[in-house]
Amino acid sequence: MSSPLASLSKTRKVPLPSEPVNPGRRGIRIYGDVPASHDSELMASMTRKLWDLEQQVKAQTDEILSKDQKIAALEDLVQTLQPHAAEATLQRQEELETLCLQLQRQVREMERFLSDYGLQWVGEPMDQEDSESKTVSENGKRDWMTAKKFWKPGDSLAPPEVDFDRLLASLQDLSELVVEGDTQVTPVPGGAWLRTLKPIPLKLYRNGIMMFDGPFQPFYDPSTQRCLRDILDGFFPSELQRLYPNGVPFKVSDLRNQVYLEDGLDPFPGEGRVVGRQRMHKAWDRAEEHPGSRMTAEKFLNRLPKFVIQQGEVIDIQGPIRDTLQNCCPLPARIQEIVVETPTLAAERERSQKSPNTPAPPLSMLRIKSENGEQSFLLMMQPDNTIGDVRALLAQARAMDASAFEIFSTFPPTLYQDDALTLQAAGLVPKAALLLRARRAPNSSPNFSPSPGPSPSPQ
């Protein structure tokens, strides 16, 4: 019996024929030869990817539809608002045009107002405004002095500190421009008179200033700010230009270490006692130490109008108040005011009663002082009335002959001798202040010029 190894060695199998190989070519793998299990995995992967793509396409389609709807809604809204926007723009344009016309009219009125006083608006150049608008402070904020182009009353508040030395130097420079004791022509109704310039008392406190006898002007007041700004800029205060057009010297009292109390309370009328002391004093005595700060009764009366005309009646204002103050304050002798009954006064009284709303005609109010200065005659006349009419009314009111007195004015010195001269031609309209004196010889008044108009014809 032969062994298995021996039989194995004897049996030979014929090898399978190999695939023919073409030299110079590569062998290409055919997927058909892949096993079936591998094909199923590939199919599942492709199906899953296809499903994901379909879901993504569906989501993008929904998003596109949503955006299309929003676009359509916005287009409808634009079509709806576009006419309203055009109307609003047109309305805004009309409002701006109206405002522009109004501002132009105001500018013309202000220029006309300035031209009436011989002034002209200069302004500042545009390049300076542009440079100021670009100015930026160190902390990145614009300076408040250059940021505000238009002045407002509330913006002119007092700074925290006032340069008293600079203010005193400016007041000294202004006072040196005017000679103390010089004379100045001051206009008055019906003429003018010469007045000697006296220094204006000005008290400088820590919290404000006081000119004349008051009132006190605190630094935070806008009017005080304008006054200080005028002084620091080298100009006289604008509030004094009407009384002193050519300037006036100042008498300054430096009280910068004192604070003026603005409590507005009256001093305690009784006696007070200081704690720890036996001396008693009165608050009224302290007030008398500063008489310059009190207003006298005569100054108070001078600030009031002497009379007013209402509904054809001449109402005395100073008389009743003077009688009331006469009991407590010593006053000089009162000048007697006499209202002369004239035809013009009666006609004006009747007109005001019948038709008070109609405008009053042009009139001439004459204040004529008697020879001794104790009486003052008030006459309401028409502009076409004559000097002779005034003379006759005065003679009737004084119960004396019309040829016993003369009518004249002091500035300019004019003697009204022509009784045929009208008040309009004599320049006594709308008001004038005249004087009376006893008739003198024709050549005894060399300083008086004859009244304007034709000379009286010889008799």
CB atoms within 10 A of CB 255: 14
What pLDDT does residue 220 have?
85
What pLDDT does residue 12 have?
57
Whether 420 has a pLDDT exceeding 90, the answer reads yes
- Distance, in Å, from the CA atom of 120 to the CA atom of 111, rounded to the nearest integer, reads 7
**With contact defined as beta carbons under 8 Å apart, do 404 and 398 qualify?**
no
Query: Is the pTM for the entire model greater than 0.75?
Result: no
Q: How confident is the model at residue 10 (pLDDT cuts 50, 70, 90)?
A: low
Token pair 């100054």 is found at 299
- Give the pLDDT mean for 339-364: 87
CA dihedral 383, 388, 389, 395 (to 10 degrees): 140
- Per residue in 52-75, pLDDT (tens digit) is 999 999 999 999 999 999 999 999
> Residue 208 is inside which H or E element, if any?
strand 208-211
- Distance, in Å, from the CA atom of 58 to the CA atom of 362, rounded to the nearest integer, reads 97
Nearest to 380 by CA among 411, 349, 334: 349
Cis amide bond preceding 305, omega within 30:
no
What pLDDT does residue 27 have?
54
Please tell me which residue, 432 or 336, carries the higher pLDDT value.
432
Please tell me which residue, 294 or 441, carries the higher pLDDT value.
441
Lowest mean per-residue pLDDT among 14-28, 147-161, 418-432: 147-161
- Give the pLDDT mean for 114-127: 69
What pLDDT does residue 314 have?
64
- Give the pLDDT mean for 135-149: 45
Lowest mean per-residue pLDDT among 39-53, 109-123, 271-285: 271-285
- Distance, in Å, from the CA atom of 37 to the CA atom of 457, rounded to the nearest integer, reads 154
Whether 393 has a pLDDT exceeding 90, the answer reads yes
DSSP assignment of 348-370:
HHHHHHH-TTSPPPP-EEEEEE-
Q: How confident is the model at residue 281 (pLDDT cuts 50, 70, 90)?
A: very low
Strand, coil or helix: 250: strand
Lowest mean per-residue pLDDT among 148-157, 181-190, 438-447: 148-157
Which tokens belong to 72? 């359509």
- Per residue in 199-248, pLDDT (tens digit) is 888 999 988 888 888 788 888 888 888 888 888 888 888 888 777 777 88
- Per residue in 325-345, pLDDT (tens digit) is 766 665 566 678 888 999 999
What pLDDT does residue 396 have?
93
What pLDDT does residue 276 have?
47
Residues shown for the chain:
459
Lowest mean per-residue pLDDT among 63-77, 154-168, 288-302, 433-447: 288-302
Whether 355 has a pLDDT exceeding 50, the answer reads yes
CATH class of 335-450: alpha beta
- Give the pLDDT mean for 374-394: 93
Q: What is the CA radius of gyration of the chain?
A: 52
- Give the pLDDT mean for 365-383: 91
- Give the pLDDT mean for 290-315: 65
**pLDDT, averaged across the chain:** 75
CA dist 10 → 5, 6, 7, 16 (Å): 9, 6, 5, 19
Q: Which CATH superfamily is domain 153-260 in?
A: SEP domain (3.30.420.210)
Q: Which residues contact 121 (CB under 8 A, 6 or more apart)?
A: 110, 111, 114
Give domain limits for the chain. 51-116, 153-260, 335-450
Whether 83 has a pLDDT exceeding 90, the answer reads no
What pLDDT does residue 283 have?
43
Nearest to 318 by CA among 306, 333, 302: 306
Calculate what percentage of the chain has a pLDDT beyond 70.
64
Nearest to 431 by CA among 337, 309, 335: 309
Q: Which residues contact 186 (CB under 8 A, 6 or more apart)?
A: 192, 193, 194, 195, 243
Calculate what percentage of the chain has a pLDDT beyond 90.
21
Contacts 24+ apart (CB under 8 A), 327-334: 329/296, 329/297, 331/297, 331/298, 331/301, 332/298, 333/374
What pLDDT does residue 91 have?
86
Whether 132 has a pLDDT exceeding 60, the answer reads no
Query: Which range is most confident: 232-236, 269-273, 292-296, 394-398?
Result: 394-398
What pLDDT does residue 428 have?
92
Q: How confident is the model at residue 151 (pLDDT cuts 50, 70, 90)?
A: very low
Whether 308 has a pLDDT exceeding 60, the answer reads yes
Q: How confident is the model at residue 188 (pLDDT cuts 50, 70, 90)?
A: low
Please tell me which residue, 430 or 273, carries the higher pLDDT value.
430
